[in-house]
Chains A and B, each alone.
Chain A
Amino acid sequence: MKKGKGCEGKAPGMRVRGHPVLGEPPGGREITVFLDGKPLPAREGEPLAAALFASGIRVAHYAAEGREPRGPFCMIGRCTECRMVLEGKGMVLTCLTPAEEGMRLHTPGRRGKP
């Protein structure tokens, strides 16, 4: 794996900073998870979907035989649109699954991939 080129960088700065009511976010430990083999920064304990949004990644899986990208719709575990494959667990709802160091996520349903 090449070093230095992770998933972040497409849309840096998607974390909320200097909020007028909430102030600075609580500082969870910075960890690394992997998306389709590439490192992705995350805060320990935040839902995996939040870590993806923080890096500007909004496609969770592909439906309709790979033709339709889908992404989180409800963020509270109802719509199932945020589902992804987590190694060792199978299909999970990323909006409810807390991020842990070293987790390996995969985008299911992409054309040509399982």
Chain B
Amino acid sequence: MKLRRESHPLVVVGAGPAGLCAALEAAEAGLPPLVLDEGSRGGGQLVKQIHRFFGSREHGAGKRGFQIAEELVSGCLGKGVEIRLGHKVLGFFPDGRLLVDGDEGVFVLQPGATILATGAVEKSFPFPGWTLPGVMGAGAAQTLVNQHRVMPGKRALMVGAGNVGLIVAYQLLQAGVEVAGVIEVNRAVGGYAVHAGRLRREGVPILLRHRLRAAEGKKEVESVLVEDMERGTWKRFSVDTLCLAVGMAPQAELAAMRGCRLVYLSELGGFLPWHDRAMRTDRPGVYVAGDLAGVEEASVAMDEGRLAGLAAALDAGVLDPGEAAERMEEVMDRLELLRGGPFGEPRRKAKERLCSMTGLVTGGAGRKAGIRGRTGRR
């Protein structure tokens, strides 16, 4: 079968906060990319975020995720970026070509350079009853109530008191789902106090040192067994929905297929493509940004996207090196601030370790990585 061929100077895979910010920067520098996303709406996971964001003006502080998504999409379209939704990237071959499935059929795309911003996928773990309908990722429940406006069930239990667990539990309440509680194996809440406080004020118990033991039910979830780890006793919650907020992992399949070197960093969610401070991988013309480059938050994803967009424009020769260096410094300084504080510190250190792993990388990319703000063309 002969497949249709297409080429584009710069292709961005993923229209989430990282991909769209990368596209914006590259377009501003004079290299408007083609953005591909399998979803039906641009903005990635931002479209289901309805809480107000923290951070600074550059990160859309005070706005809600779906509003930021709309702004990014219209910003991109205004700058000549082509966004093709409903397009799934099936493959990324070692020679740099992409295999894409869209409404025009399957085709081969030859990019000049590629920015991967494929995001992350929710983690799960096995336990008795984990395949029962009604057991789902917290993100799935969030997608249902905030994006599709339907409830996953009538009464839910949340596993994990990190930010995702706390935020989604509250958003389930807002949508009219009863929340029986949030359980957490650790001794302390992992997420921000403001999110935990909101739940407690609504009377939702956050049970620390409690462990999920089983989901029970014949055809769907009818109850959930939980162990109180301090007392050694078990409790049964009568719920029809069990949400898991137990972390996320970078979606690195395409990067791996392309031959990008992967590195394991538990602080950043697991295996992720090695990259330098300007988001270059060890493969020429392949950049990464956002949760794929380490699971953090949307604000970080946006800034990493900007870095990747700048690096791609610089390496393509459309952006003046002096200007690129200046802009990158600015973004890197902001990232430093975002990774400050007790929540950001482990991620900042992991990123530093990653960028100092020069020995792993073939060619000059690794050596370049150790130098802060180095933006020379390869």
User: Is the beta-carbon distance between B50 and A70 smaller than 8 angstroms?
Assistant: no
User: Is the beta-carbon distance between B137 and A74 smaller than 8 angstroms?
Assistant: yes
- Report the nearest A residue to B217, measured CB to CB: A69
Instruction: Type the 1/0 row for A36-48, where 1 means its CB is closer than 8 Å to any CB of B.
Output: 0000000000110
User: Is the beta-carbon distance between A71 and B220 smaller than 8 angstroms?
Assistant: yes
Give the size of the chain A interface in residues (CB under 8 angstroms): 34
The answer for the CA separation of A70 and B136 in the assembled complex, in Å, is 11
B150: which A residues are within 8 A, CB to CB?
A: 14-16, 50, 53-54
User: Is the beta-carbon distance between B148 and A20 smaller than 8 angstroms?
Assistant: no
Query: Is B285's beta carbon under 8 Å from chain A?
Result: no
Instruction: Type the 1/0 row for A64-107, where 1 means its CB is closer than 8 Å to any CB of B.
Output: 00001111111111110100000000000000101000000000
A25: which B residues are within 8 A, CB to CB?
A: 149
User: Is the beta-carbon distance between B38 and A73 smaller than 8 angstroms?
Assistant: no
User: Is the beta-carbon distance between A74 and B175 smaller than 8 angstroms?
Assistant: no
Give the size of the chain B interface in residues (CB under 8 angstroms): 34
Binds A, one of B25-33, B126-134, B228-236, B295-303: B126-134
Q: Which of B135, B139, B175 contacts A75 (CB 8 A)?
A: B139
- Report the nearest B residue to A52, measured CB to CB: B150
User: Is the beta-carbon distance between A75 and B220 smaller than 8 angstroms?
Assistant: no
Q: Known pairs A16-B151, A71-B132. 12 more at Cβ < 8 A? A: A19-B174, A25-B149, A54-B150, A58-B134, A58-B152, A68-B131, A69-B220, A70-B133, A73-B124, A76-B140, A81-B131, A96-B40
Chain B positions within 8 Å of A, measured between CB atoms, are 38-40, 50, 64, 121-122, 124, 131-137, 139-140, 143-146, 148-154, 174-176, 219-220, 251
